[in-house]
Amino acid sequence: MFQSFETTSRPDQGPPRLAALRAELARAGLDGFIVPRADAHQGEYVAPADQRLGWLTGFTGSAGFCIVLPGVAGVFVDGRYRTQVKTEVDLAAFASVNWPETKPGEWLRRELPQGGRIGFDPWLHTAREIADLRLALEGSGVELCPAGNPVDRIWTDRPAQPLGPVRIQPMEFAGETAADKRVRIGADLAKAGQSAAVLTLPDSISWLLNIRGSDIERNPVVQAFAILRHNGQVTLFIAPEKLSDAVRDHLGPDVTFGPPTAFAPALRTLKGPVRVDDRTAPLAVTRELEEAGIAVTAAPDPCLQPKATKNPAEIAGMEAAHLRDGAAMVEFLAWLDAETPKGGLTEIDVVQRLEAFRRATNALQEISFETICGTGPNGAVIHYRVTRATNRPLRPGEVVVIDSGGQYLDGTTDITRTVAVGDGVDPDARAAFTRVLQGMIAVSRLRWPKGIAGAHLDSVARQALWLAGQDYDHGTGHGVGCYLSVHEGPQRLSRTGDVPFEPGMILSNEPGYYREGAFGIRIENLILVEEAPPLPGGDAHRQMLRFRTLTWVPIDRRLIDGDMLTGPERAWLDAYHAEVAARIGPRVSDAAHAWLAAATAPL
C-alpha cells in the first residue's frame, strides 16, 4: 500500500518544542520567528526533513505558517484547515488564526505594539512575501531580520534530505525533447534581454528536463535547483547520488552539474540581468545576486506557462490516464455499493480497496495524494486524512466523501465523488449535494472570451449555494500537472486566480459544501481548456474558450433532488452519464458493467 494510516501529528510535543524555540530565540536576540510550511524549493509539498511547521505545532495541512512570539504563537490556517487544526494542534499553547482574513502584518502590529525583532529564514520565504510583510509593518517598530533557522538548531532528530533516483520521462509522454524546451525557453529569455533564469520549483525543473523523481511522496518530482541560460544551457544543482549514467546521457552535454551546496556561490558568478520569480523563488536567491551587484529582473518562472499549457502528447496521455482511472473507480464504486449493505466497512477499508483497484491496472506509479475518505462528520474536514485513531465506520444514512487520484506515466488524476451510504440520507445533505452539482455543471458548461482568468469564473460554481445562504472555503479548482504535481500553477479557478486561461490548461472543477459535525460534500472532475467553436449569431471576431471534461465516473443519482435541476442541467447530466457508459463500459468487469448501466441511467 502507498497510503499508511498512522497518526503523524503530535500535539503533545507542541508545548515543549515551543518552549525550546522561545529559549533559542532569546539567545539569538529575537522577539519572534516565522515558521512556514515551505522549503527552499517553495513547492507546495515538502519532504519530512523540511516539515518544520508540523514538527513544531503538530499541524499537517499543506498550507499555513506559525509566528512565535514570547507570549503567543499564532498558527495561521485558511478555510480548508480550520476544523483540522482543532484536532492536530494544542490550542492551549498555540492560537489558531484565520488567514488570509487576518494578515500577518496586522497580527504582528496588534501583538507587538511596542515593536520588536522578528526573525525569518530567507531560504523559506519568497521575495514578494517578505516585501509585502515589510510594507504592512511600516511605522510599527517591528523589524524583519533574516536569520539562521532556530528550528533546525533544536530539531535534533531531523530526517535527512531525500535522495530519490532520477528517472527519464519518455518522449511519447513528454511530447517535446528537453533540448527543444531548453532552447525555446532560453530564446524567450534572450528576447526579454535576460542572460539567465533561476529555477527553484521542482516541477518546473522536472518538466523542463523531462525527468521525474521520488523525493516527495505522491509527487514524481526531482528536488534540485537550476540556472537556465539564454542559449538554452542549464546548470543543475543536485545531489550526484540521484543521477545514473543513463540520466546524464539523456540530459546531454548542454546540462552541467553541481552539488546543491554550489548553488548559492554560482549565483554570484552570473551576469545580469537575471530573471527571478519573486513569487516562487526564495528571497535568499535575490539577496545573493544583489549582494554580488548583479541586476535582477522580477518575472514569472519561465517554465510555468509552457508547463501548464499541455501539448497534444500530454493531453492524449491525460485522456488515457483518466479512462484507465475511471474504470478503476467504477469497479470500486460497484464494489462499494455491493458491500455497504452488509455493514462493517470503515474509512480505512474504503481507502485500501480503492488503492487496490488502481493497482490492478498494472500502471499505477503512486497515488497522487493521500486519499481523503470521510464519512459523516469526518467528511466536513476538507482535507481529512484517516488514521487508525480517527477511522470511522460507514453508517446507513450518511454520505461519504472520497477524494483520490493516481499517478500514471502518462498522466495524473484527481477525482472526488460523494456517495450515499444506504437510505435515509439527511434531506439537507441531498439539497446541498444538488446545489454543489449545479455549480459543477455550471462550470462544465461555461464558454468565455479569451483573456478571462479564474477569478472571473469562480462565482459561477457558487451561485446555487449562495442563493441558499451557503458557500465553501476553498477555491473551485486548481491546475493539474501531467505526471507531475496534482496541484499546479499558475492557473487556478478561484477568487485569487489572476492568470488568463489558455487552451491546453487542465484544472479541477470541485465545488463543495461542509457542515461541521454533520457532513461534507464535494464533486470533482478534471477539465481541459480548449477553443470553443463559433455559434450562430456569435461575434466572428471574438475568440471563445470552453472546458472539456476529462473525468468519466458516475455521479450518485440517489443524492440528487431532480426537482431542483433546470432542464439544461438535467440534459447535461444525462449526456455526461451516457458518455461515461460509452467510454468506461467496455473497460470493466461484467459485474461493474451491470452496476454502471444502472448508475448512468437517465435521471
Q: CATH no. for residue 295?
A: 3.40.350.10
Domain boundary among the residues 95, 123, 154 is at: 154
Is 281 in contact with 296 (CB distance < 8 Å)? Answer: no
171 and 189 in a single domain? The answer is yes
Q: Report in angstroms the alpha-carbon separations of 244 from 129, 178, 202, 599.
A: 37, 17, 18, 48
pLDDT value of position 108: 97
Confidence class for position 10, pLDDT limits 50, 70, 90: confident
Instruction: Please give the Cα distance from 127 to 282 (Å, whole number).
Output: 6
Residue 5 lies inside a defined structural domain of this protein:
no
Confidence class for position 62, pLDDT limits 50, 70, 90: confident
Residue 6 lies inside a defined structural domain of this protein:
no
Residues of the chain with pLDDT > 70, as a percent, come to: 100
Helix (H) or strand (E) holding 307, with range, is helix 304-308
293 and 315 in a single domain? The answer is no
pLDDT tens digits, 290-300: 999 999 999 99
192 and 243 in a single domain? The answer is yes
Helix (H) or strand (E) holding 382, with range, is none
pLDDT tens digits, 118-176: 999 999 999 999 999 999 999 999 999 999 999 999 999 999 999 999 999 999 999 99
Instruction: Please give the Cα distance from 311 to 308 (Å, whole number).
Output: 9
150 and 174 in a single domain? The answer is no
What are phi and psi for residue 155, nearest 5 degrees?
-85, 85
Residue 20 lies inside a defined structural domain of this protein:
yes
Residue 160 lies inside a defined structural domain of this protein:
no
223 and 342 in a single domain? The answer is no
Helix axis angle, 590-599 relative to 567-584, nearest 10°?
170
pLDDT tens digits, 421-434: 999 999 999 999 99
Residue 397 lies inside a defined structural domain of this protein:
yes
Is 63 in contact with 37 (CB distance < 8 Å)? Answer: yes
Residue 547 lies inside a defined structural domain of this protein:
yes
Instruction: Please give the Cα distance from 383 to 258 (Å, whole number).
Output: 38
457 and 314 in a single domain? The answer is yes
Cell for 205? Answer: 525543473
Confidence class for position 61, pLDDT limits 50, 70, 90: confident
pLDDT value of position 84: 87
Range of the domain at 234: 167-301
Cell for 486? Answer: 496534482
pLDDT value of position 439: 98
User: In a 3-state reduction of DSSP, which class is residue 106?
Assistant: helix
214 and 91 in a single domain? The answer is no
pLDDT tens digits, 325-382: 999 999 999 999 999 999 999 999 999 999 999 999 999 999 999 999 999 999 999 9
Residue 161 lies inside a defined structural domain of this protein:
no
The amino acid sitting at 203 is D
The amino acid sitting at 585 is G
In this structure, are strands 225-229 and 234-237 parallel, antiparallel, or unpaired?
A: antiparallel
pLDDT tens digits, 376-422: 999 999 989 999 999 999 999 999 999 999 999 999 999 999 999 99
Cell for 423? Answer: 437510505
pLDDT tens digits, 260-287: 999 999 999 999 899 999 999 999 999 9
Is 449 in contact with 457 (CB distance < 8 Å)? Answer: no
Residue 601 lies inside a defined structural domain of this protein:
no
